[in-house]
Amino acid sequence: MAKKRQPSKADWYSYPVRRGQLISPFGIGAMIDFPGESVMVAGLDEWPDDVCPEVHDERLATRLSVEKLRLPPAKPDDSGEGAEVPAVRFPLWHQCPRCKSLFELKWNAHKFAHCERCKADKKKWVKMVPLRFAVACDAGHIADFPWLLWAHKDQGEELRHAKICDQPHLKLYSTDRADLGGLYVKCVNCDKGRSLAGATGEKGIYGFDCPGERPWLGPNSRQNCSRAPHMVQRGASNVYFAEVISSILIPPFSSRYYQLLADPQKWAMLTMNMKPKGQPDPQIIKLFADTSPGLDPGKLVDFVRLKSSGKLKGSPDQPESEYRFAEYKALCQPEKQEDEQFSATSCERSKISDGVASCVDRLIRVDRLAETRALVGISRLDGETDRNALSLKRKNWLPANRVYGEGIFLTLDERLIEKWSSKKQVLDRAEKVTARQNQVAASRKRGRPRMLLPKFYLLHTFAHVLIRQLSFECGYGSSSLRERIYCNEGDGSGSSMSGILIYTAAGDCEGTLGGLVRQSEPETFGRLVKDALQSAIWCSADPLCIESKGQGADSLNLAACHACALLPETSCEEGNRLLDRAFLIGTPDNPEMGFFAGLVG
């Protein structure tokens, strides 16, 4: 539930937004369009954290250097429980659809905006609508488009030097042109004006300094900024990117016992009169178990000792590969790990049909899993993520969401991967993409260089073609399926991993319907893999696709396009980058380059 932030509760009005959407895609700093309105979700400083339920995931919270993760508040019910999430009005410039006049409202004006000119001239109450243009820079700032400067700018003059008349009265007209040249802004008072043609170009608003505004954090959150702003459309996909870090809840953190111990009050009670070596008081344990049906006192003691030892605490500096390796181990040994929120079963590899068993090392049916998704930062355009943009004052918590689902986990044979990845043509092809990826990341100041191995491209592309095939077989659309790649990098850090988790987390608190895990039956899975690889052999864009030297976002894909390998962006961890079908099935000139060449030859 998004609510405009107002000075008076009598003037509040609310719009419905699902809890999960407030993590992504409508997280803090994102614009949400409603009929006749456009608002931006406010920062954590304004969130009612006292009614935000806690999401217990100590492993992820430790990694993110916060004490807690919290759900967005629930919609208020008849009893008054719950709260709205505040939002602010953005953009401030509005247009009257009747007389075409433009008005700039006061920051976060809480009344519905009506045209003052129509009300004065014709006694008409005409509701104004927000304009669809803004300016943003890659430092994460966003502000209203400089309408006054643009209308009064002379030919060849820098925008900052435009002289605005004493009593500007702007109107925005539409002509019969289909592009931005069909929009003409004019000052009725001084008769100056110009179309919006060229405003979106690289030098479209040249000479306009970024105002450094962050409307979602309030009117006093402005920063000094030297970046060049660009005109953007309000609903454009590059106006807002939420950085969401996810984690699979694994034992012992997924256990009912550990979830109980995550409650500060219960933990304080259980650790009263703690004995040496972390031994809890037996009387307190018995009292607690008696008042909580179904608890085993012995198991409760074990979990109290485990938590108090600090061995599972982890570190904020833990590398991503090491963090994922804990999940990898839990998925590889499911029989030892089952509990209330994590349940998996090994499938008999030898029964996998169609020759696929020769390439697969493990096939695991994940009947139940829980995923925590936390919003940690935002970015705009192609800039780096700002992890300080969620609030003015640093909070000890982050907004998060818990979703439940099912999945299929598989690992490929490490010996076959090692033999395949030692081929010169495979190494050369992978190194070209890796070098390009690091060059792009360096130009945008996005983290450290990545040393991606050939098997990463293999696993990633394999996950994509499997998800595309599964969307026809399992009853879930491709946008409801996600990938999680378990692969070590080539810098020597972390243990070796060669796994893929394909899962759905689109169900409710009870989980999903079982259509995905049913595809992990060995006979069914073999046919599924064979069909997915056969589909990958031919793309409707071939031969251009298979012979591509770089395509897609930042040219970070080789033989991979929308017709053969790309997925909805919610499904891919890498934003539909770093894909290449040639690692699966080879190229027409060199079919042996493909890891699965023997299955599709």
Low-confidence ranges of the chain (pLDDT < 70): 1-13, 78, 80, 110-112, 122, 277-278, 310-314, 336-338, 447, 506-514, 601
Between CA 241 and CA 284 the distance in angstroms is 48
Give pLDDT, residue 555: 94
Distance of CA 323 to the CA centre of its chain: 18
Instruction: With beta carbons less than 8 A apart as the criterion, state whether 564 and 536 touch.
Output: yes
DSSP letter assigned to residue 372? E
Question: 23-57 b/e with 16+ CB inside 10 Å = b?
Answer: bbbbbbbbbbeeeebbbbbbbbbbbebeebebbbb
Instruction: With beta carbons less than 8 A apart as the criterion, state whether 230 and 137 touch.
Output: yes
Report which of 571, 574, 579, 577 is spatially closest to residue 479, judged by C-alpha positions: 571
Burial class (CB in 10 A: 0-12, 13-18, 19+), 65: middle
Dig out the tokens for 130 from the structure. Answer: 């927000």
Between CA 521 and CA 225 the distance in angstroms is 56
Query: Which helix H or strand E contains 404, and what residues bound it?
Result: strand 397-412
Give pLDDT, residue 10: 40
pLDDT, tens digit, 9 for 90 and up, residues 531-565: 999 999 999 999 999 999 999 989 999 999 999 99
Q: What does the mean pLDDT of the chain come to?
A: 88
Q: Where in 249-396 does DSSP place strands (E)?
A: 343-346, 360-379
Query: Which helix H or strand E contains 231, and what residues bound it?
Result: strand 230-233
Give pLDDT, residue 29: 95
What number of other Cβ atoms are within 10 A of residue 423's Cβ?
14
Between CA 564 and CA 297 the distance in angstroms is 54
pLDDT, tens digit, 9 for 90 and up, residues 173-213: 998 888 888 999 999 999 999 999 988 877 788 889 999 99
What number of other Cβ atoms are within 10 A of residue 439's Cβ?
12
